[in-house]
Structure 1
Amino acid sequence: MLLSLLLAVQPVLLAVGRLVLALLGVEAGQERAVAAACAQVDADVWYTWGGGHGARPGPTYGQVDPTDPASEHDPERIGFDCSGLVRHAWAQAAGSDILNGVASAQYYTTRAAARFGADRGLAPLLPGDLLVWGTPRDLHHIAVYLGAGKMAEARQSGTKLMVSDVRLGGDYHGAVRIDPGPVTGHVFTTWGTGVWTKAEPSVKAARVYAFPGPTKVRVGCQKHAERVTSDGYTNDAWSYLPDYGAWMTNIYVQGPEWLPGVPDCADAGAP
């Protein structure tokens, strides 16, 4: 029932749909993201690998995915890949390009209001939340939750954008709720390529996620821990990145050795 309201085009039904969303606690930004994603499904838009990642949000010609023979016609088709659709939906919702990036960058965004692990299932989710699949190191798919166990997604080459049942099995990783408002906390930019975050503030700790390039990150706190020498720098300060649940040596965070304005983890009561 909820999905039919979301997909309706008649003004009266749209008004009822907005009322249902309001009763569920869905905010205006989430509602607009759902509407924008469903509008592209209704328009029968193609999945195209790399589509939606132009200079501005919106459908673009795709590219050939060297790992997928079904993508051979993607350069001839205007459409979205999974993260391109999410980028477009939330740009329409927020009025600005707040989720420009691939699935992993969108999940780990500094604009996260909440995250929900796979073990939580659908119970805590609201329409507009983003569902992701993969591992912490490689999140390869993302979709917009519509409610009632349904999602809008750009799934694979050779298909159109679609509404699907949420797939909770396999490598479903969890979900993130987006806050389109001002970014809170202490935000810095990393530098370098292939820089790993760690489960603990030590180079020997388990790897969590590798930044493909310079990335904006939210730093929760910092602490003095293992002394690290890398790329001509030596430092014992480590930053805790709450969006990743991981640590990163301050060597790869742009700024001085001890980041200004960021509290000591001992004082902040953080990990």
Structure 2
Amino acid sequence: MAAVAVLSLLATWEGTGGATATAAPAATASQAAGACGVQAPGASAAAEAAVRAACEQIGVWYTWGGGHGPQPGPTYGQVDPSDPDSAHDPERLGFDCSGLVRYAYARALGGDPLPGNAHHQFHSPHTNERFTAAQGTGPLLPGDLLAWGSAGSVHHIAIYLGAGKMVEARESGTRITVSDVRLGGDYAGAARIAPATTPGTFSTWGADVWTHEEPSTGSPRVHRFPGPTSVRVECQKHAETVTADGYTNDAWSYLPEYGSWITNIYIKGAAWLDGVPTCP
């Protein structure tokens, strides 16, 4: 409810655990799978493919940190230091919430378009439309990503099926299942994933890289990228000169999904990014 060694420290991996079995009872998995699928018209072919890929995992264990290996797919989990119920997750092959989303959209779109944790996925540059919590499920289509938490800290993510239903990896001790959409509590809204790469998309590199309120290392930190993450760059400008990891650069990029700046040192590409306009 997202590389693994780094992401395992994030609070976006959550759950409570229980039994130690490694395979879903056949009857339970079969019954649940019957309820999983595209429940409404209007979604893109890619979104419908993501739904189908997620539904194929019905009955697979939730496991904290699962699905965050080098390639999308189920992995053994880890113990969440804050959750004693995750004690058996290292014995379970499966997914956490963002691991399932990563896998489903990798199957649908190819490559690895949604790496990272729930927060990174909800703010992905591959998003082409957003919906507030107040809008409910009315404007949603199958394949949309549902998020819980806040704009600054999304801690759970699921895939909408239509008709008020979603498929999710919820918490330790449970298996991937179909649930009613939970609109109360800290439901934060939904995002729709574009079927193709959004212009201006780049990848960060390095571990524990921070963005800042202003194009300056002295300004307050805003968001931490634990590992390589796809980001959309709106514009870039010359500002404070930074030296890090053997590179020196005075170029900074503005990331609109995060409302903050990152030195171009940690964006894969030329020192001054090709095709990105200069900020006013």
Please indicate the TM-score interval, normalised by the length of the shorter structure: 0.7 to 0.9
Is the aligned partner of 1:220 residue 2:237? no
More helix by share: 1
Q: Deviations over 1:199-237 (max 9, x none)?
A: 45455655432111333322121234x535453877554
Distance 1:209 1:246 in 2: 8
The equivalent of 1:48 in structure 2 is 63
5+ residue gaps, structure 1, are: 1-5, 267-271
The structure-2 alpha-carbon separation of the partners of 1:238 and 1:144, relative to structure 1 and needing over 3 Å to count, comes to same
Q: Normalising by structure 1, report the TM-score.
A: 0.76
Say if 1:47 and 1:192 are closer, same or farther in 2 by CA, change over 3 A.
closer
Distance 1:129 1:241 in 2: 22
Tell me: higher relative CO, structure 1 or 2? Use CA pairs within 8 A at least 6 residues apart. Answer: 2
Who is 2:255 aligned against? 241
Kindly indicate whether the alpha-carbon contact (under 8 Å) linking 1:57 and 1:91 is maintained by their aligned counterparts in 2. yes
- Residues 234/93 of structure 1: CA separation in 2 closer, same or farther (3 Å cut): closer
TM-score relative to the length of structure 2? 0.74
Match of 2:91 in 1: 76
Give the structure with higher Rg (CA): 1
Q: 4+ residue runs of structure 1 moved beyond 6 angstroms? A: none
Instruction: Give RMSD over aligned pairs.
Output: 3.0
Contact 1:191 1:215 in 2 (8 A): yes
1:28 matched to 2:45: yes
**Structure 1 letter corresponding to 2:254:** Y
Pairing of 1:56-135 with structure 2 (within 5 A): 56-135=71-150
Distance 2:228 2:72 in 1: 21
Q: SS of 1:158's equivalent?
A: coil
Percent of aligned pairs with the same residue? 61
Shift of 1:71: 1.3
1:32 to 1:213, Cα distance in 2 relative to 1, 3 A: closer
Aligned residues: 247
